[in-house]
Structure 1
Amino acid sequence: MRRLLILLLLSCCLPLAYAGARVPAEVAVLVTLHQLHAEVPAYDNDALKRSIERLTPDVLCIEVSPAHYASRAPEANKVEYPAVVYPLVVAHGYRVYPMEPVPPRDAEILQPYLAANRAFAEQQPAASKAFQTQTGALYDTLRLYWTSPARVNDAVTDAQMQAKHALQAALVGEGERAGWEAWNGQFLATVARAARENPGKRIVVLVGAEHGYWLRAALARTPGVHLLDTAALLAADGS
């Protein structure tokens, strides 16, 4: 009789235990090029639209502030939002999480970051000019390499952006490094919250190309997240 009672108790408790276990959210980081979409034929606005739809998101995490998203404010640099992203939100009804920090946190991060970069330009003009030249050459080369959406999102592009930011932090100093880490950390916190609130769902994170390497590495270590290989998914579709 005692054994029977134990089995009955276990049969009642096991479904509750499984119900409490969260299924990880699937997360794909899809980088965007802002104004450069117009200069990369293989990843223009139409290709970006197809890429987002190809990844079949339930949720979008987007690189704008909550206030900009609420007002659908025009974007001077992130032109893909009014052109592509916002119409897709309306068409598909995606749940949306804006990732940029709100005041006063945005200023707390940006002011020291911008001050460090101004000081670098003023105090080390030769190094600043050389770094700008190198960055321009990097983008000139990448525009030729980016022959598909998959390539914009692959390990080669991520490695180039990681190297660029390692050098940038070494040249500019702690203000640059800390600001870059903190800004990306805000994105990561939002994606992690979206994953907690949407277990088992597909989340597509839209972020500028320079942030892709950072977020992919961090999300690979984040509990409740199953990080997808965006480049492989796009390549499988011939993108």
Structure 2
Amino acid sequence: MKNLFKINGALCVAVFFLVHLTQHQTSAQKWRSNFFIRHLENTHKNEVYVLGTLYKRHENTNVYHLEALKKVILSINPQVLVLDVTPEELRLQKVYPGKIEYTNVIFPLVNSNKYRVYPAEPDEPKFSTIVNEVTKAHADFKKNQPSCSRSLEEYNTSLYQLLTHSWKNVADANGKTTDQLLAAKLRLEGEVIGKGQAESWKIWNRHTTDVVLQALKENIGKRILVITGIENASFIRQNLKNEEVNLVDMEAWLNKRFL
């Protein structure tokens, strides 16, 4: 009988340790599993910045001149750049003369840093197809509605004068008020100029968005800076929000760094 009690006691102790060992292993497996999932989530969570630039207007905007633009790019310290240039423009580093930020700031930074760079404008023949459609729409509008065309030109001039006068820093230029006003301007142009303007604008911005999504897939966990014309910026931001991209609030980020 004593031996039987000893055997039962030993079995109880063995079962006790076996249960606790199993629970420990299960907890460890869960911890490792959760850690792996968290690691994957963090790895896939790119920071994406969308920065609007002014082309030749950088020359006449005190708070958002070319040196300010350079300071912002260096502060973001991106690992990947998505630029509003065509593949050929990127290869030759030769752009339309009005895009002064490229020759003076962006291309020199590209040449002196190890960025991975993506051209966000379409290649030929898509590029010319879109540009020709817009050009024709504007020419027809000017010919058929000259008075409205002049009014639109005056409106655009006045809007930029008011905007640049109101900007206190780069954050304002990339802020919600600027986005809303320029988005409204582009929608108005689409309505009065017609489908050639509205549809082309939509296709252009969708192409940029798709390039950004490609860059995200190919550069997991890296900081991505999208540089685009300021009139495109609000549409690109909205497109990326719709795609549930981890988009940095550019205005808040710039304000926090007094830029």
- TM-score normalised over the length of structure 2: 0.84
1:113–1:178 CA contact under 8 A, matched in 2:
no
- Residue 92 of structure 1, CA deviation: 2.3
Q: 1:230 aligns with which of 222, 226, 250?
A: 250
- Trace 1:146-225 onto structure 2 (pairs within 5 A): 146-223=167-244, 225=245
Structure 1 distance, partners of 2:70, 2:227, is: 12
Report if aligned partners of 1:31, 1:153 keep a CA contact under 8 Å in 2: yes
**Offset from partner CA, 1:77-133 (integer Å, 9 cap, x none):** 111001000111122211111111001111222222221111111101111110111
Q: Residue by residue, what CA displacement relative to the aligned partner does 1:202-224 show, whole Å, maximum 9, x if unpaired?
A: 1111111101110111111214x
On the 8 A contact 1:55/1:233 being kept in 2, the answer is no
User: How far apart are the structure 2 equivalents of 1:76 and 1:61?
Assistant: 20
Do the aligned partners of residues 149 and 16 (structure 1) sit closer, same or farther apart at CA in structure 2, a change above 3 Å counting?
A: closer
Q: Is contact 1:24–1:195 with CA below 8 Å preserved after alignment?
A: no
Which deviates more from structure 2 when the two are superposed, residues 88-97 or residues 153-162? 88-97
Asked whether 1:94 is paired with 2:115, we answer yes
Name the counterpart of 2:68: 47
Q: Which residue of 1 aligns with 2:5?
A: none
Normalized per residue, the structure richer in helix is 2
Report the identity percentage.
31
Q: What's the secondary structure of 2:122's corresponding residue? A: coil
Aligned to 1:126: 147
Looking at structure 1, the residues matched to 142 and 80 of structure 2 have their Cα atoms a distance apart, in angstroms, of 40
- Structure showing greater radius of gyration is 2
Match of 1:143 in 2: 164
The yes-or-no answer on 1:23 pairing with 2:38 is no
Unaligned runs of 5+ in 2: 1-17
Structure 1 vs Structure 2 CA RMSD: 2.4
- Between the aligned partners of 1:102 and 1:41, the Cα distance in structure 2 is 34
Q: Secondary structure at the match of 2:47?
A: strand
SS at 1:93 equivalent: coil
2-structure distance, mates of 1:125, 1:203: 43
